[in-house]
């Protein structure tokens, strides 16, 4: 049985991610979607929330397991018995970044093969960052993320806006009282 791991931050999971998952499932006996708990970027969702959103998105996949991890990705892959790392490539800039990471991972774990899957044409320009921007500006997420992810994203962004508004009002009150 060959196990592959598809690592990422998935903040949030998109239909582009699910496209890669669907295609990787057909290639491997077992696919583990590894959700990195502390990426070096600003997260909108906690690792627990990202895992829950991914699990719901992949509930119909019989050979997919969603797990969170910390530390080196290659260590996680070894721990899970993986032999391959799956990465999705959207455009040329993805290739350059993935090539650099792949070279380091090959040094750290020469037994793990990198398998890059090209994004389907409808997802070539789709990223979690753009999804968050579209949602924050009130744009439609139809066809870009699963419905439950769109709901969670819109709810989170509404809460963030409310918190920011409350903080601004609190600062104005403090200033006016001085």
Active site residues: 17, 41, 90, 128
Q: How far apart are CA 31 and CA 84, in angstroms?
A: 10
Containing structural domain, residue 151 = 3-177
Most trustworthy range by pLDDT among 38-52, 54-68, 123-137, 155-169: 54-68
DSSP state of 122: G
pTM for the whole structure: 0.89
Laid out side by side, the sheet with 3-8 consists of 64-69, 30-36, 3-8, 84-89, 113-118
Q: Name the more confident of 86 and 160.
A: 86
Per-residue pLDDT tens over the stretch 125-155: 899 999 999 999 999 999 999 999 999 999 9
Q: Name the more confident of 71 and 173.
A: 71
E-only strand ranges, the chain: 3-8, 30-36, 64-69, 84-89, 113-118
What pLDDT band is residue 168 in, cutting at 50, 70 and 90? low
Structure confidence at residue 173 (pLDDT): 66
Q: How far apart are CA 160 and CA 88, in angstroms?
A: 30
Q: How far apart are CA 25 and CA 64, in angstroms?
A: 7
E-only strand ranges, 60-178: 64-69, 84-89, 113-118
Instruction: Identify which of 80, 85, 66, 68 has the alpha carbon closest to the alpha carbon of residue 4.
Output: 85
Q: Name the more confident of 150 and 162.
A: 150
Q: Supply the mean pLDDT for the chain.
A: 91
Domain count, the chain: 1
Q: What is the CATH classification number for the domain harbouring 105? A: 3.40.50.620
Q: Name the more confident of 167 and 137.
A: 137
Per-residue pLDDT tens over the stretch 13-43: 999 999 999 999 999 999 999 999 987 788 9
List, in sequence order, every residue forming a beta bridge with 32; answer none if it has no partner. Answer: 5, 65
Phi, then psi, of 148 in degrees rounded to 5:
-65, -30
């Amino acid at each position: 049985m060959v196990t592959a791991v598809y690592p990422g931050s998935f903040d949030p999971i998109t239909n582009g991610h699910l496209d890669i998952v669907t295609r990787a499932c057909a290639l491997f006996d077992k696919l583990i979607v590894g959700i990195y708990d502390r990426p070096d970027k600003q997260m909108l969702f906690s690792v627990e929330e990202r895992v829950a959103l991914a699990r719901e998105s992949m509930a119909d996949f019989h050979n997919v397991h969603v797990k969170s991890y910390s530390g080196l990705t290659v260590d996680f892959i070894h721990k899970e018995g993986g032999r391959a790392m799956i990465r999705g490539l959207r455009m040329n800039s993805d290739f350059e970044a993935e090539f650099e990471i792949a070279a380091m991972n090959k040094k750290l774990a020469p037994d793990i093969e990198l398998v890059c899957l090209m994004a389907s044409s409808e997802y070539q320009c789709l990223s979690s960052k753009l999804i968050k921007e579209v949602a924050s500006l009130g744009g439609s997420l139809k066809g870009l993320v699963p419905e439950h992810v769109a709901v969670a994203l819109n709810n989170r962004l509404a809460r963030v806006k409310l918190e920011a508004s409350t903080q601004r009002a609190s600062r104005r009150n403090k200033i006016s009282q001085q």
